[in-house]
Structure 1
């Protein structure tokens, strides 16, 4: 994927928008060091990744870099040390791996995992400020790392209001369990949503600020 052309990727049966995302990622200096890095592309669905995974070929450069990283001895186990970021450029919050986050000051493995988990449950960041919403991230740490963050790929996974289950909706950080139940109940009673704005027809959904916040993560496909 690091050297594939647009034609190569299209021949693999990938949608045009996914191909564009991969090419944009590489054009901005992104490198796929291991197969799983392709999952950073939010427009690549799990089915396509599973289909292509056996055929993904990467150079040995990444493996060499990994082997050369220092190790530390902790609790009876050898672990690979994650060097703190020598800032060569801002960290793209929608592409950063667990290891990338740990290179930022004040971010250890636990906080890095919280950041990645929040991004995954959210479906992707649309602004740097959303990073501050991560559970367990002190504002002092966010303010310290904020100048080191950027968003080159404001792409998100969307929930289909007409197909998402209660569990799918409830997992989203911006949708409470009560709201998820009401959405499913309304859909069962009234049929498919014609637009995201139809959420305001649900009796307790009168908060337009909430709707504008969650709207980018919803559609009615």
Structure 2
């Protein structure tokens, strides 16, 4: 049997201890009452502009929905005026684009999808994809009517213009350039400096890269100057050039040169400009011009 005297020994307290126990229970009960009575939740803050913000956000969300659900509009174009970048986006190779550009240099035009394929040598599958986008002039579809209208046209005689002698832009001096209206000492110096950096121009399109030339001045330059001889410059060996050498090429700069070296080390040598164009931030619109400065 358990000795009750030994147990009751633990429940003997002094007067001060009993008072402390009573006060402790009183405090616990008081805290419990405060917990259930007092609301400790944090009041939600409101702003005067909240409703205005919500309405603006709702309008933005609705506009996003309209944008994502919108069907893209398809624009037709005349394939005679396809640029390098446009042809690349359509899936044409550099050789196919060059065939069309050389055909146009002879002042000739394609007037049907079939003629376009005969000139560019594109595949039937690619033609089937892009030909619905072609838009040829109305007169090409009704040549008989056009010839009749032409016969009724009375030709007027105009005084002959003085023939413009074309100069090679790579042979032009500062004095030759300053003869163009709108080009002074500063602009002519920039053009010659750009030629020096590149080793020579390969396309008149490169005039657009010279800062400060207005569209009117560019037109005059193309009227008086052409690329008559390809300059003899040292090409960049794209598969062997160092990061420093690539970074010094005006069309690359350091960031793109670093990506080229990284891509080359991970995927092997570049075979053509199409491989190089796969790199992020590569200036695809200048791919044809850049390829003339590279050696694969």
TM-score (norm 2): 0.38
Q: Which structure's residues are more often helix, by fraction?
A: 2
Structure with greater strand percent: 1
